[in-house]
Amino acid sequence: MRQLLRLATIVALASAATPGAATTLSGKVTIRGTVAVKSTVPVTASARSSGPIPDATGTFGGSAAVIAYAIPVPSDATAFYVRLSNRTGISNGTGVNVTSNVAVYQSDGTGLPTGAALGSWTSQTVPGNGTELVLGPISVTRGTDGNVVVLYSIPAGVTYADARFQSWGAYVLGTTTVNPAPGGWTPNFTDGVLWITTEFTTAKRRIIVLGDSISVGAAPFGATPPGFLAAAWNKVATDKSYAVSIFGMSGSTLAEWADNVTYPALWADQIVGGADVHIELGVNDLATQTAGQMETSLATIIARVRTAGCSHIYVNTIAPNAAYISNDAQRIAYNAYLPTSPLSFDGVVDLAAKQNVGGWADNTTTTILYSGYDAGDGTHINVAGNVQGAATIEAVIH
């Protein structure tokens, strides 16, 4: 599996290492001549896991409903909190206050609730001004799929923040009861409703992902998306029992994350020291940014992440896409820059590589997606592609 990793501090000694042996230097390890970032085990610390972030407004069909939202949590998670908000664009909430019942359950192995509620709260106010409702702490028991399930109710006729394209699991119309959990769940592939972040204490590796619609399992209109739980980084979370928080919004860009204006709330209280950060952005920058501008935005983000005290930093190459094919020269130039970049990051996940070496590109024409990974629009990734993406990520962040 192809890896692009910065040789920087160890290139002078790498050639002297015995083939097949491992040599440690400056916090990195050389294995068979390839550089891999050395994993570290953090001290027990607070971590968060984020669902897809709302980026529009809407109503849930004018009916009351209960949403079931599954989220991966590490095996040692304790002191579990649920944080909910009804915000749009993260910076300024444009929804209204929502009165909600909330409960947490063990997953039944498929992302639906089972057993007695692990925690339950009635008539809670979820703010519409961008602040959060924080509930807990409680003790949680994961399902066999590594998930817990948060249930929350939505009254009829309210305006709430909406994450279009993302799958948040399931819903039941016509009820506000969350404990005991109602039956008759229906898959929901269109509405995210509220933004949920769970917080817990863990000694597992903590990873923050700055991403876009691809990061959260989105698909084009008319296609069934892989869904949030099937997104590559959530597969990494369950495979490795890591604490992974995906900050993914449809249309998100390097430029937006660099400006410190678009997502101030995330920079203020979500990008935390001690965690690793993975920058999975760039597709949407192709619409308006040159490769040089994208490189400048990446440098700004990395500098800010380092200032926040984060540990390892990883970046993605930009996979082929049909959305901005006329600007593909910018994508190719940006990807070529990353392996030799002077910026202070630790590894490159090369999803622009051919499918047969771990990427998402076609094996013959590398300017288009591999057809077996295309969710239907030449840009978004299906379940099989996310499985491949997870394996490639795991090889690099090893």
Same domain, 170 and 241: no
Domain span at residue 369 reads: 205-397
The answer for residues whose C-beta is within 8 angstroms of residue 79's C-beta and 6 or more apart is 136, 137, 200, 201
Judge whether 3 lies within some domain: no
Does the residue 1 lie in any domain? no
Nearest Cα to Cα of residue 229 among 54, 65, 385, 383: 383
Which residues lie closer than 8 Å to 73 by C-beta, 6 or more apart?
49, 80, 140, 142, 146, 147, 148, 198, 200, 243
Number of domains the chain is built from:
3
Q: Which of 176, 196, 216 is the last residue of a domain?
A: 196
Residue 42 in domain: no
Phi, psi (rounded to 5 degrees) for 232: -55, -45
138-188: pLDDT as tens digits:
999 999 999 999 999 988 877 666 655 555 678 888 899 999 999 998 876
User: Is residue 243 within 8 Å of 47, Cβ to Cβ?
Assistant: yes
When pLDDT is averaged across residues 273-296 and rounded to a whole number, the result is 96
From 147, 162, 196, give the residue that closes a domain: 196
In a domain, 43, yes or no: no
Q: Which residues, 6 or more positions from 116, have their beta carbon under 8 angstroms from its beta carbon? A: 105, 180
Q: What is the pLDDT of residue 78?
A: 94
In this structure, the answer to whether residues 100 and 242 fall within a common structural domain is no
- Please indicate, yes or no, whether residues 159 and 180 belong to a single structural domain of this protein: yes
Q: What is the pLDDT of residue 2?
A: 31
Q: CA-CA distance, 127 to 92, in Å (whole number)? A: 11
**Do 261 and 255 contact (CB within 8 A), yes or no?**
no
Cα–Cα distance measured from residue 364 to residue 301, given in angstroms and rounded to the nearest whole number: 34
Per residue in 81-115, pLDDT tens? 999 887 654 544 456 788 999 999 999 998 899 99
Are 167 and 258 members of one domain?
Answer: no
148, 167, 196 - which closes a domain: 196
Place 350 in a pLDDT band, splitting at 50, 70 and 90. Answer: very high
